[in-house]
């Protein structure tokens, strides 16, 4: 299972892959069950994973910066 595939949630690169996969499923309604669209699906999942990892790293950096700001503020204001 993959995350929500709404266009506003993903990069343009992943949106292109998502649309290609949707078109493949629409145009090959029977062959999709025999793996016809699997290559597109793998590429889409790889792109979504890359986005997820980038968001996770950015969130971790933001959290570390906020923690540092929170813990350093009382020390700086006492001086």
For residue 66, count other CB atoms closer than 10 A to its CB.
10
Name the pTM for this structure: 0.74
Q: What is the CA radius of gyration of the chain?
A: 20
The residue-averaged pLDDT of 43-62 equals 95
Confidence of residue 7 (pLDDT cuts 50, 70, 90): confident
Integer Cα distance of 79 and 68 in angstroms: 17
- Is the pLDDT score of 30 beyond 80? yes
What share of the chain has pLDDT > 70, as a percent?
91
User: CA-CA distance, 13 to 76, in Å (whole number)?
Assistant: 44
Q: Is the pLDDT assigned to residue 19 strictly greater than 60? A: yes
């Amino acid at each position: 299972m993959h995350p929500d595939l709404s266009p506003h949630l993903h990069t343009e690169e992943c949106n292109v892959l998502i649309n290609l996969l949707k078109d493949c499923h629409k145009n090959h309604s029977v062959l999709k069950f025999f793996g016809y669209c699997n290559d597109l699906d793998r590429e889409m999942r790889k792109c979504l994973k890359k986005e997820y990892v980038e968001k996770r790293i950015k969130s971790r950096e933001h959290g570390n910066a906020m923690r540092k700001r929170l813990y350093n503020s009382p020390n700086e204001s006492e001086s």
